[in-house]
Amino acid sequence: MCGLLGLICPTEDNAGNAVNAVASALPCQRHRGPDESDTWHGGEVVFGFNRLSIIDLEHSHQPLSWGPPETPGRYTILFNGEIYNYLELRAELIEQYGARFVTDGDTEVIVAAYHYLGTSMVGRLRGMFAFLVWDNERHVVFGARDPFGIKPLFYAAGPGGVAFASEKKSLLALGTTLGLSGDVDSRSLQHYLVMQYVPEPASLHRAVRRIESGTSFTVSPGGQLVTERYFAPNFNPRVINTDADADRLHNDIVDAMRDSVAKHMRADVTVGAFLSGGIDSTAIAALAKEHNPNLVTFTTGFERQGYSEVDVAAESAAAIGVKHVVRTVSAEEMMQTLPLIIWYLDDPVADPALVPLWFIAREARQHVKVVLSGEGADELFGGYSIYREPLSLAPFERVPDPLRKAMGRVSTAIPEGVRGKDLLRRGSLTLEERYYGNARIFRDDQLGSILRNFDPQISHTDVTAAAYRASEGWDAVTRMQHVDLFTWLRGDILVKADKTTMANSLELRVPFLDPEVFRVASTIPLEQKITRETTKYALRQALAKVVPSHVLNRRKLGFPVPIKHWLRDEMHDWARTIIQESQTEALLNKTAVLQLLEEHRSGVLDHSRRLWALLVFMIWHGIFIEGRLSPQVPEPHYPVKL
């Protein structure tokens, strides 16, 4: 796992003049790959790379050039990620095509597969990846991003060419070379304040966008970027008529998970695992221990009752027999470190859980270079509590549409904080109108008083419409899962996982987000996902013999953060100072924001998530737009304790 930066210029002369600019922009993402850094210039392209050495440590240096015997050096590749089936794919390329390799890593396998299999090779890759391949014969760049969006890939186009990078900061550093503006995208800001992240393919800078998950692309010097979706998740539930049918499903799940974890353990460095108190991370750790008896697990929490899974995680670690490391986080540490974390993020993500995740990643990097984690299980297996909402709202489906709309109007007259208000409001809406992911920060009727340029024509449905169209005819829960794959998973879950770990030069791997695991998960029928008593029913049944009994049916917490309490006490003055000093008057009504803070402090209403979203944006704005805040970025240095 590393950091890539590629610039495709209109002419060779442009590229020659841009070499120093690319070299100067590379340090912005040095934390992603502190082991090596190099640049390469050929034809109309300039490639730069920061490497975190995980596989084939002594070789597989990048940018890496490769070619068949008749045209050696024809291709040059930049690759961020890991391909877990590279050994099998390498053997196939040797056997069927006589491919020759000079390294033992996965990078060379990608470029060889591209040569022999063409662009369809991307569907053969089992892993997490973002890559660029320059073909010096055809003068074209081919690239792709993994199916679920585990690894990021930003891009920007201007008169100076088109550039791609693992970190948006590197593209902003190339702004003069590319001819970019640094304006805030007001549309993306409005989406952020509703969804707590900036949905793909946009970013909060108008000039910078993202290659979407499951997408490949080509671009020629001076030409337009052409994208193609190669992966579209599809759900095909199997029929469960008998106990034997259910048993086969559960066996298929555990077999797929065991195989995925085995392949995710491939590395030439030590692999550990994150461990919370839930079934997902516990299952990953238990399966990983089958391959590494000396596995080390890591968890984080807070010294406040109800906001820590430290005790449960420790019990799980003891039950599966692994060494366990705990890192607790204080309110003071969060306040001090948040600007630095936001600098690493590139775009604001208003998920408080990313802060403790950053701290546990920093602790883990003192012990290991790679960790496994449980992201993706909820989206694939039906794990979120909100997936049970269609059951609770079922009675509303039988109400005639005019009456349902009237109920919605009644809900607007009910004061905020009154029990039943939101249920009545949501029951009056269709699935497409009400569901856009786990986080619901500001409603449209709340944004008008906060956002200066609020546009009522902008809606979350702009983001979710395509996913809903593609899932027409599916049951409501599966449609919610499908929407989450394109929104919540890649916008929040995977962004915070990638950014907080790579900030600490730590590679995070997610075995649940594996094509073979998805292939099985996509066949789970509704009754094996959600019941009135539990979520992820089939997964829990499948893992009954893998995880300790005390976590099998435990309610999901993740890494909960006590910001509700802290913003009333320890963090109140800190929050007020951020609001007062922020130069965001043209975008936000700061008087209204301060009113939210005081209402929250008095206990009138719980505005903690809305306040957190605003505070994160204000800090982001202070760093990337105002230039007023300059977090001290530490040099990567990780003395391993093992």
Say how far apart CA 130 and CA 217 lie, in whole Å. 11
639, 366 in Cβ contact below 8 A?
yes
Tokens of 111: 């470029």
Q: What angle do CA 596, 598, 601 make, to 5 degrees?
A: 110
Percentage, residues of the chain above pLDDT 90: 84
Compute the distance between CA of residue 579 and CA of residue 564 in angstroms, rounded to an integer. 17
Q: What is the pLDDT of residues 69-88, one digit of tens each?
A: 999 999 999 999 999 999 99
Classify strands 2-8 and 161-165 as parallel, antiparallel or unpaired: antiparallel
Joined together, the tokens standing for residue 367 give: 């012990």
pLDDT of residue 399: 84
What pLDDT does residue 638 have?
62
Query: In this structure, what DSSP letter does residue 106 have?
Result: S
Q: How far apart are CA 116 and CA 103, in angstroms?
A: 18
What is residue 401's predicted lDDT score, i.e. its pLDDT? 81
Q: State whether residue 451 is helix, strand or coil.
A: strand
Please tell me the distance from the alpha carbon of residue 326 to that of residue 330, in angstroms, as a whole number: 13
Answer whether residue 174 shows pLDDT above 70.
Answer: yes
Q: Cα(416)–Cα(423) distance, rounded to whole angstroms?
A: 12
Does the structure show a pLDDT above 70 at 555? Answer: no
- pLDDT score of 407: 83
In sequence order, the β-bridge partners of residue 508 are 371
How far is Cα 536 from Cα 258, in angstroms, rounded to an integer? 18
What is the architecture of the domain spanning 2-229?
Answer: 4-Layer Sandwich (3.60)
Q: Structural domain boundaries of the chain?
A: 2-229, 243-383+486-552, 389-477
Pick the range with the lowest mean pLDDT from 324-333, 461-470, 505-514. Answer: 324-333
Q: Is residue 601 scored above 50 in pLDDT?
A: yes
What are the tokens at 636?
Answer: 């990567």
Q: How far apart are CA 472 and CA 454, in angstroms?
A: 31
Q: Which pLDDT value is given to residue 308?
A: 67
Contact indicator for 631, 343 with CB cutoff of 8 Å = yes
Asked whether the predicted pLDDT for residue 397 surpasses 90, the reply is: no
On whether 373 is known to bind a ligand per the annotation, the reply is yes
Query: Is residue 213 annotated as involved in ligand binding?
Result: no
Please choose, from the candidates 71, 19, 74, 21, the residue with its C-alpha nearest in 3D space to the C-alpha of residue 45. 19
DSSP string, 76-87: EEEEEEEETTHH
Say what the pLDDT of residue 243 is. Answer: 96
Q: What is the pLDDT of residues 472-501, one digit of tens each?
A: 999 999 999 999 999 999 999 999 999 999
pLDDT tens track for 444-456: 889 999 999 999 9
pLDDT digits (tens, 9 = 90+) for 522-536: 999 999 999 988 999
35-61 pLDDT tens trace:
999 999 999 999 999 999 999 888 999
On whether the CB atoms of residues 193 and 441 are closer than 8 A, the answer is yes
* pLDDT tens digits, one per residue of 121-156: 999 999 999 999 999 999 999 999 999 999 999 999
Higher-confidence residue: 504 or 406? Answer: 504
For residue 306, what pLDDT band results from cuts at 50, 70 and 90?
low
Task: Report yes or no: 257 and 376 within 8 Å, Cβ to Cβ.
Answer: no
CA–CA gap between residue 448 and residue 433 (Å, rounded): 19
Q: Identify the band that residue 507 occupies on the pLDDT scale cut at 50, 70 and 90.
A: very high
Confidence of residue 418 (pLDDT cuts 50, 70, 90): confident
pLDDT of 639 strictly over 60: no
Give me the mean pLDDT over the 410-426 stretch.
Answer: 84
Taking alpha carbons only, the member of 562, 487, 168, 133 closest to residue 346 is 168
Residues serving a catalytic function are: 2
- 243-383+486-552: CATH homologous superfamily? HUPs (3.40.50.620)
For residue 271, the tally of other CB atoms under 10 A from its CB is 21
Q: Is there a contact between 226 and 220 (Cβ–Cβ < 8 Å)?
A: no
What is the per-residue pLDDT for 403?
85
pLDDT band of residue 434 (cuts 50, 70, 90) is: very high
Where do the DSSP E strands lie in 492-596? Answer: 507-509
- As a whole number of Å, the CA-based R_g of the chain is 24
Average pLDDT over residues 251-257: 98
Please write the tens of the pLDDT for every residue from 207-250. Answer: 999 999 999 999 999 999 999 999 999 999 999 999 999 999 99
What integer best gives the mean pLDDT of the chain?
94
Q: Tell me if 106 is assigned to a ligand binding site.
A: yes
Q: What is the pLDDT of residue 642?
A: 46
> What is the DSSP track for 304-335?
STTSB-HHHHHHHHHHHT-EEEEEE--HHHHH
Determine the pLDDT at residue 556. 61
Instruction: Determine the 3-state secondary structure of 172 from DSSP.
Output: helix
Quick check: helix, strand or coil at residue 499? helix
pLDDT tens for each residue of 185-215? 999 999 999 999 999 999 999 999 999 999 9
pLDDT digits (tens, 9 = 90+) for 310-369: 888 888 999 999 999 999 999 999 999 999 999 999 999 999 999 999 999 999 999 999
